[in-house]
Structure 1
């Protein structure tokens, strides 16, 4: 589209039309029919391509058409003509240079199997990365995906901000995997990072012995297991990891110590030991004051880059001249310790949730021995992110 410069008789001045100057005796420019028709047809093509019916009386149709075509983005979408991992598209009008923030769309012809590139209109291919600026993992783009990409000059790469049917939305939660028993973790396709929560098993509470007329017996609560949180990349995790879930500490038999909770772990990367069980110390004879310790806390967890924490100790039981209160179980970040029972309670309260300690138990005079409570088991929870 240009002025009719190739026609000498048109009378252009400095390449543009001029009016007739009667005083100076200068003729005005002519508008050739061919040129006038070409200009009109070119404008009408814009109007028609937007789905509008040309009208002589509507002077806003060209503006309407430009707005409509801009919203449709037809000049920014093209089919992929490349191969898997080597995406290419030809846009009309052609993209001749890359500019920071340039947004383009293409319909992928193939799924990606790993790191990929994108090149519009034969320009030099640039890396195609996710929103975390990392190389694409397999299946982030699937065949037939409508993909939206943005050129980032700072990275000299194309950011994949959307891919229908794929896993291209960086940081999106893919799934939550909860292991309440030991097993093997195999990452979901498209996983880039995981938040792992590892909870060791809670300790049990000891059993109490038989009491005579002037005796009472009681125990402290079990300790909670240690706790860990870690953010790990897919590269660190690899193809799989063995998951170990620590059991809750066993309830102590009559007049015997309780068991400690088991260690939970995410492979060799993160480990959370279990909490200690409370010990059986013996009965107390009135009048006297006695303190019966709870389970010792576990050692701190290891391997976590967000939080490494030891468990909470079980509360001690206490007896003052016949008035008794057993110790509460240690609370955990994922569970509540069992409450300390009074002499009226027949059974010890187990730990609840995950990783908490069992509550202790108490005996009044002239009562038979009773077993303690069990600690809550550990758990491994994995949040997978694209």
Structure 2
């Protein structure tokens, strides 16, 4: 669309129409029928393309049409004509050059399986990057999804700002995997980072021997397992990691004259990246003659975890068992962040309380006079919990 410069004697001045100047004796410009019709047809095409019926009395139809077409965004959307990881689309009017901030949409024909590119109207393909400005990971685009991209001149790349059905949103929680038995962790598709929480197995409590007419016996609680939290990226994790779950500390057996020592909890680990040792078990206890005072320690924690870059703490010690002039108070098992320690069992004929939940110590146990020997309790097993993020 332009002024009718090629029409002879049209009377343009400086390339534009002018009015007749009677005083100066200058004629006005002519408006050729061909030019007038072409201008009218061009405006009518805009009106009709928006689905409006042309009206001689409505002077707002071109404005209505422009707004409607802008809302539809048909010039900014096209279907993908490429293949997986190689996205291409043709727009009308054609995109002939890339400009900073150019925003386009396309409906993807295929899911991406890794790093990808995008090319409108046959221009050179440019990398597609996510909101974290890194190469796309698998499934950030899924087949049939509507994708919105913006060209960044600084990056010389297309930034994927939206993908329906995909996992392009950086930081989204993909899921939680809880291991209570040893196994293998395989990252979910699209995983970029994980938050690992783990606890080692809790220690058991010692058994106590049978008592005579002037004897008592009492034990402390088991220690809790070490606890660790770590933030790890996909590069450190790789394709998989071996998960080891720390076993529960075994209960201490009954033994004549001395109670049997309890077992320590096992170490939980996430490959070689993070590990949390188990808590110590209670030691065997000797009979105490009355009257008397006795303090029998519970299990002690082992060394601190390794690899915990958020939290890394050794377990807590089990509470001691106490006797004062024949009165006994069994020690409680230590609690962990993922479980409650077993309660001290000083009542007659009540079994030792095991650790409740993950990584907690077993409760101690106590005997007054003339009671049979009693077995200690088992600690709580370890656990590994993995939160996966896109």
TM-score where L is the length of structure 1: 0.92
The 3 A distance-change label for structure 1 pair 297 and 2 is same
For 1:101 and 1:198, how far apart are their aligned partners in 2?
45
Q: 1:293 aligns with which of 288, 293, 297?
A: 297
CA shift for structure 1 position 296: 0.8
Gaps of at least 5 residues in structure 1 are none
Contact persistence 2:18–2:28 (CA under 8 A): yes
The 3 A distance-change label for structure 1 pair 125 and 209 is same
Q: 1:373 aligns with which of 374, 377, 387?
A: 377
Partner-residue secondary structure (3-state), 1:8: coil
Match of 1:318 in 2: 322
Match of 2:86 in 1: 86
For 2:361 and 2:152, how far apart are their aligned partners in 1?
53
Match of 1:111 in 2: 111
Q: Aligned-residue CA RMSD in angstroms?
A: 2.1
User: 2:8 aligned with 1:4, yes or no?
Assistant: no
Contact persistence 1:224–1:298 (CA under 8 A): no
User: 2:286 aligned with 1:282, yes or no?
Assistant: yes
For 2:152 and 2:63, how far apart are their aligned partners in 1?
31
For residues 304-355 of structure 1, the C-alpha deviation after alignment (integer angstroms, 9 at most, x for no partner) is: 3322221111122222223332222111111111222333571222212211
For 1:323 and 1:29, how far apart are their aligned partners in 2?
120
Contact persistence 1:324–1:343 (CA under 8 A): no
Gaps of at least 5 residues in structure 2 are none
Match of 1:148 in 2: 148
Contact persistence 1:311–1:332 (CA under 8 A): yes
User: 2:330 aligned with 1:343, yes or no?
Assistant: no
User: 2:163 aligned with 1:159, yes or no?
Assistant: no
Partner-residue secondary structure (3-state), 1:37: helix
For 2:327 and 2:63, how far apart are their aligned partners in 1?
90
Contact persistence 2:77–2:91 (CA under 8 A): yes
For residues 7-41 of structure 1, the C-alpha deviation after alignment (integer angstroms, 9 at most, x for no partner) is: 23332222222223333333332322222222222
Contact persistence 2:267–2:278 (CA under 8 A): yes
For residues 200-222 of structure 1, the C-alpha deviation after alignment (integer angstroms, 9 at most, x for no partner) is: 11111111222223332221111
Partner-residue secondary structure (3-state), 1:149: strand
For 2:367 and 2:172, how far apart are their aligned partners in 1?
54
The alignment covers a number of residue pairs equal to: 386
For 1:288 and 1:102, how far apart are their aligned partners in 2?
86
CA shift for structure 1 position 70: 1.8
For 1:306 and 1:275, how far apart are their aligned partners in 2?
20
Contact persistence 1:209–1:368 (CA under 8 A): yes
For 1:54 and 1:284, how far apart are their aligned partners in 2?
107
Contact persistence 1:205–1:372 (CA under 8 A): yes
Q: 1:359 aligns with which of 337, 357, 363?
A: 363
